[in-house]
Protein backbone atom coordinates (compact mmCIF):
# COMPACT_ATOMS: atom_id res chain seq x y z
CA UNK A 1 0.00 0.00 0.00
CA UNK A 2 1.53 3.30 -1.04
CA UNK A 3 1.99 6.04 1.55
CA UNK A 4 0.83 8.73 -0.87
CA UNK A 5 -2.47 10.16 0.40
CA UNK A 6 -5.51 9.38 -1.78
CA UNK A 7 -6.19 13.02 -2.64
CA UNK A 8 -2.57 13.41 -3.83
CA UNK A 9 -2.80 10.28 -5.98
CA UNK A 10 -5.94 11.62 -7.65
CA UNK A 11 -4.39 15.07 -8.11
CA UNK A 12 -1.28 13.48 -9.67
CA UNK A 13 -3.31 11.43 -12.11
CA UNK A 14 -5.24 14.56 -13.18
CA UNK A 15 -1.94 16.44 -13.62
CA UNK A 16 -0.72 13.57 -15.83
CA UNK A 17 -3.90 13.88 -17.91
CA UNK A 18 -3.38 17.65 -18.24
CA UNK A 19 0.32 17.29 -19.12
CA UNK A 20 -0.35 14.58 -21.71
CA UNK A 21 -3.06 16.73 -23.28
CA UNK A 22 -5.86 14.22 -22.72
CA UNK A 23 -7.45 16.97 -20.61
CA UNK A 24 -6.97 20.13 -22.67
CA UNK A 25 -6.88 23.77 -21.58
CA UNK A 26 -10.48 24.86 -20.94
CA UNK A 27 -11.80 21.30 -20.60
CA UNK A 28 -14.07 20.46 -17.68
CA UNK A 29 -12.35 18.43 -14.99
CA UNK A 30 -14.36 15.55 -13.49
CA UNK A 31 -16.49 16.75 -10.57
CA UNK A 32 -16.14 15.74 -6.91
CA UNK A 33 -18.91 13.24 -7.41
CA UNK A 34 -17.36 11.73 -10.54
CA UNK A 35 -13.91 11.51 -8.96
CA UNK A 36 -15.22 9.90 -5.80
CA UNK A 37 -17.03 7.25 -7.87
CA UNK A 38 -14.07 6.67 -10.20
CA UNK A 39 -11.44 6.36 -7.46
CA UNK A 40 -13.69 4.88 -4.76
CA UNK A 41 -12.97 7.69 -2.27
CA UNK A 42 -15.10 10.07 -0.23
CA UNK A 43 -16.35 13.36 -1.68
CA UNK A 44 -14.09 15.13 0.81
CA UNK A 45 -10.99 13.37 -0.56
CA UNK A 46 -12.02 14.22 -4.12
CA UNK A 47 -12.51 17.85 -3.05
CA UNK A 48 -8.99 17.81 -1.53
CA UNK A 49 -7.56 16.72 -4.90
CA UNK A 50 -9.38 19.48 -6.77
CA UNK A 51 -8.34 22.08 -4.18
CA UNK A 52 -4.70 21.04 -4.60
CA UNK A 53 -4.95 21.47 -8.37
CA UNK A 54 -6.47 24.94 -7.95
CA UNK A 55 -3.66 25.92 -5.54
CA UNK A 56 -1.04 24.66 -8.01
CA UNK A 57 -2.63 26.67 -10.83
CA UNK A 58 -3.55 23.66 -12.98
CA UNK A 59 -7.28 24.17 -12.61
CA UNK A 60 -9.70 27.09 -12.16
CA UNK A 61 -12.85 26.77 -10.13
CA UNK A 62 -15.86 28.47 -11.70
CA UNK A 63 -18.72 29.20 -9.31
CA UNK A 64 -21.68 26.84 -9.85
CA UNK A 65 -20.10 25.42 -13.02
CA UNK A 66 -17.26 23.22 -11.84
CA UNK A 67 -13.54 22.95 -12.43
CA UNK A 68 -11.73 23.68 -15.69
CA UNK A 69 -8.16 23.13 -16.91
CA UNK A 70 -6.23 26.42 -16.67
CA UNK A 71 -3.64 27.64 -19.17
CA UNK A 72 -0.46 26.35 -17.62
CA UNK A 73 1.72 28.84 -15.82
CA UNK A 74 5.47 28.81 -15.51
CA UNK A 75 6.52 28.80 -11.89
CA UNK A 76 9.42 31.24 -11.71
CA UNK A 77 11.58 30.99 -8.58
CA UNK A 78 13.28 34.25 -7.82
CA UNK A 79 15.90 33.43 -5.24
CA UNK A 80 18.56 32.42 -7.71
CA UNK A 81 20.14 34.29 -10.58
CA UNK A 82 19.28 31.98 -13.45
CA UNK A 83 18.78 32.34 -17.18
CA UNK A 84 15.58 31.87 -19.15
CA UNK A 85 17.05 28.68 -20.60
CA UNK A 86 17.72 27.23 -17.14
CA UNK A 87 14.30 28.31 -15.82
CA UNK A 88 12.45 26.65 -18.70
CA UNK A 89 14.46 23.42 -18.44
CA UNK A 90 13.85 23.26 -14.70
CA UNK A 91 10.12 23.55 -15.26
CA UNK A 92 10.23 20.77 -17.86
CA UNK A 93 9.76 23.07 -20.86
CA UNK A 94 11.75 23.47 -24.05
CA UNK A 95 13.23 26.96 -24.46
CA UNK A 96 13.70 28.64 -27.83
CA UNK A 97 14.00 32.20 -29.09
CA UNK A 98 13.19 34.26 -32.11
CA UNK A 99 15.90 36.87 -32.55
CA UNK A 100 14.24 40.16 -33.50
CA UNK A 101 17.43 42.25 -33.31
CA UNK A 102 21.10 41.46 -32.67
CA UNK A 103 23.30 44.42 -33.40
CA UNK A 104 25.71 46.97 -32.14
CA UNK A 105 24.23 50.25 -30.92
CA UNK A 106 25.21 53.42 -29.13
CA UNK A 107 24.28 53.57 -25.47
CA UNK A 108 21.85 56.35 -24.62
CA UNK A 109 19.63 57.50 -21.76
CA UNK A 110 18.64 54.86 -19.23
CA UNK A 111 20.72 52.13 -20.91
CA UNK A 112 23.93 54.18 -20.62
CA UNK A 113 23.11 55.20 -17.06
CA UNK A 114 22.28 51.69 -15.82
CA UNK A 115 25.30 50.14 -17.54
CA UNK A 116 27.48 52.99 -16.24
CA UNK A 117 28.94 53.66 -19.69
CA UNK A 118 29.27 56.98 -21.51
CA UNK A 119 26.47 58.13 -23.83
CA UNK A 120 27.46 56.85 -27.28
CA UNK A 121 29.54 53.95 -25.93
CA UNK A 122 29.21 50.78 -27.96
CA UNK A 123 26.72 48.23 -26.61
CA UNK A 124 25.16 45.09 -28.03
CA UNK A 125 21.41 45.15 -28.41
CA UNK A 126 19.79 41.74 -28.32
CA UNK A 127 16.02 41.63 -28.70
CA UNK A 128 14.50 38.19 -28.39
CA UNK A 129 11.05 36.72 -28.28
CA UNK A 130 11.42 33.89 -25.76
CA UNK A 131 9.34 30.77 -26.17
CA UNK A 132 8.43 27.89 -23.90
CA UNK A 133 7.42 24.74 -25.79
CA UNK A 134 7.15 26.97 -28.90
CA UNK A 135 4.64 29.33 -27.22
CA UNK A 136 5.78 32.99 -26.99
CA UNK A 137 5.97 33.96 -23.32
CA UNK A 138 8.32 36.95 -23.03
CA UNK A 139 10.01 39.67 -24.96
CA UNK A 140 13.50 40.51 -23.72
CA UNK A 141 15.60 43.49 -24.78
CA UNK A 142 19.14 43.09 -23.44
CA UNK A 143 21.99 45.60 -23.66
CA UNK A 144 25.53 44.43 -23.00
CA UNK A 145 28.60 46.72 -23.14
CA UNK A 146 30.78 45.71 -26.08
CA UNK A 147 33.84 46.11 -23.86
CA UNK A 148 32.58 43.27 -21.62
CA UNK A 149 32.21 40.73 -24.42
CA UNK A 150 33.78 41.90 -27.69
CA UNK A 151 32.33 39.95 -30.62
CA UNK A 152 29.40 38.60 -28.60
CA UNK A 153 26.79 38.88 -31.34
CA UNK A 154 28.91 37.04 -33.90
CA UNK A 155 29.96 34.33 -31.47
CA UNK A 156 26.62 32.58 -31.02
CA UNK A 157 23.26 31.89 -32.62
CA UNK A 158 20.87 33.31 -30.07
CA UNK A 159 17.87 31.58 -31.62
CA UNK A 160 19.11 28.49 -29.81
CA UNK A 161 22.07 29.56 -27.66
CA UNK A 162 21.79 30.89 -24.12
CA UNK A 163 23.21 34.35 -23.51
CA UNK A 164 24.47 33.39 -20.04
CA UNK A 165 26.07 30.17 -21.33
CA UNK A 166 27.75 32.12 -24.16
CA UNK A 167 29.08 34.76 -21.77
CA UNK A 168 30.46 32.04 -19.54
CA UNK A 169 31.91 29.75 -22.21
CA UNK A 170 33.25 32.33 -24.67
CA UNK A 171 34.12 35.22 -22.42
CA UNK A 172 34.58 33.67 -18.98
CA UNK A 173 32.13 36.10 -17.38
CA UNK A 174 29.03 35.40 -15.40
CA UNK A 175 26.33 37.51 -13.82
CA UNK A 176 26.79 36.90 -10.09
CA UNK A 177 24.49 39.57 -8.72
CA UNK A 178 21.40 41.25 -10.12
CA UNK A 179 18.67 43.64 -9.22
CA UNK A 180 15.30 42.94 -10.74
CA UNK A 181 12.12 45.00 -10.66
CA UNK A 182 8.54 44.12 -11.61
CA UNK A 183 5.66 46.34 -12.68
CA UNK A 184 2.16 45.35 -13.71
CA UNK A 185 1.17 46.78 -17.06
CA UNK A 186 -1.02 46.26 -20.11
CA UNK A 187 0.26 45.04 -23.48
CA UNK A 188 0.48 47.83 -26.05
CA UNK A 189 -0.20 47.25 -29.72
CA UNK A 190 3.24 46.01 -30.74
CA UNK A 191 3.94 43.93 -27.61
CA UNK A 192 0.50 42.34 -27.99
CA UNK A 193 1.15 41.39 -31.61
CA UNK A 194 4.56 39.89 -30.83
CA UNK A 195 3.43 38.03 -27.70
CA UNK A 196 0.18 36.96 -29.39
CA UNK A 197 -2.10 38.33 -26.67
CA UNK A 198 -4.99 40.80 -26.99
CA UNK A 199 -4.11 44.51 -26.78
CA UNK A 200 -4.46 45.51 -23.12
CA UNK A 201 -3.79 41.98 -21.80
CA UNK A 202 -1.96 41.97 -18.45
CA UNK A 203 1.81 41.79 -18.66
CA UNK A 204 4.69 42.20 -16.24
CA UNK A 205 7.43 44.65 -17.13
CA UNK A 206 10.69 43.45 -15.68
CA UNK A 207 14.08 45.05 -15.61
CA UNK A 208 17.24 43.26 -14.61
CA UNK A 209 20.66 44.80 -14.08
CA UNK A 210 23.27 42.08 -13.69
CA UNK A 211 26.79 42.56 -12.39
CA UNK A 212 29.82 40.37 -12.95
CA UNK A 213 32.09 39.03 -10.20
CA UNK A 214 34.02 42.32 -10.16
CA UNK A 215 30.80 44.29 -9.66
CA UNK A 216 30.77 45.68 -13.21
CA UNK A 217 27.38 46.06 -14.95
CA UNK A 218 27.15 43.23 -17.45
CA UNK A 219 23.63 43.40 -18.86
CA UNK A 220 20.64 45.66 -18.58
CA UNK A 221 17.50 43.87 -19.66
CA UNK A 222 14.01 45.27 -20.15
CA UNK A 223 11.46 42.51 -20.54
CA UNK A 224 7.76 42.10 -21.07
CA UNK A 225 6.42 38.85 -19.62
CA UNK A 226 2.95 37.51 -20.36
CA UNK A 227 0.79 37.89 -17.27
CA UNK A 228 -1.16 34.72 -18.01
CA UNK A 229 1.92 32.50 -18.24
CA UNK A 230 3.98 33.18 -15.13
CA UNK A 231 3.72 32.86 -11.40
CA UNK A 232 6.62 34.62 -9.69
CA UNK A 233 7.52 32.87 -6.47
CA UNK A 234 9.86 33.99 -3.75
CA UNK A 235 10.74 32.43 -0.40
CA UNK A 236 10.70 34.88 2.49
CA UNK A 237 12.95 34.56 5.50
CA UNK A 238 12.01 36.05 8.85
CA UNK A 239 13.30 39.55 9.32
CA UNK A 240 12.42 43.02 10.34
CA UNK A 241 12.04 46.17 8.29
CA UNK A 242 14.50 48.09 10.45
CA UNK A 243 17.25 45.45 10.13
Q: For residues 49 and 197, which CB has a smaller minimum distance to ligand 16G in the complex? A: 197
Distance of CA 67 to the CA centre of its chain: 25
Do 197 and 229 meet the contact criterion of CB atoms below 8 Å apart?
Answer: no
Question: Which stretch in 34-42, 115-123, 148-156, 159-167 sits in contact with ligand 16G by CB under 6 A?
Answer: 159-167
Binding residues with ligand 16G: total (CB under 6 A): 15
Rounded Cα distance, 30 and 11, in Å: 11
Q: Strands, E, within 146-234: which ranges? A: 177-186, 202-211, 217-226, 230-233
Question: Which stretch in 4-12, 21-29, 40-48, 79-87 sits in contact with ligand 16G by CB under 6 A?
Answer: 79-87
Q: For residues 70 and 203, which CB has a smaller minimum distance to ligand 16G in the complex? A: 203
Instruction: Note whether 164 binds ligand 16G by CB under 6 A.
Output: yes
Exactly one of 14, 102, 149, 206 binds ligand 16G (CB under 6 A); that residue is 206
Strands 217-226 and 202-211: antiparallel
Task: Using the Cα atoms of residue 103, residue 107, residue 109 and residue 113 in order, give the sign of their dihedral.
Answer: positive
Question: Which stretch in 5-13, 50-58, 157-165, 186-194 sits in contact with ligand 16G by CB under 6 A?
Answer: 157-165
Rounded Cα distance, 30 and 181, in Å: 40
Instruction: Note whether 219 binds ligand 16G by CB under 6 A.
Output: yes
Rounded Cα distance, 38 and 224, in Å: 43
Point out which residues bind ligand 16G (CB under 6 A): 83-85, 140, 142, 162-165, 180, 206, 208, 219, 221, 223
Amino acid sequence: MSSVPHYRRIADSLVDAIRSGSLEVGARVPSERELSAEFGVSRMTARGALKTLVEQGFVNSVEAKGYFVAASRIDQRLQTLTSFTEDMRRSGRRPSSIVLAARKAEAAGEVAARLAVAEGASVYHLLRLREADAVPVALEAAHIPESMAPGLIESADFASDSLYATLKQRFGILPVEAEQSFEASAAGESDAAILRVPIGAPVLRLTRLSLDAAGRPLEFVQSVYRGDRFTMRVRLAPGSTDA
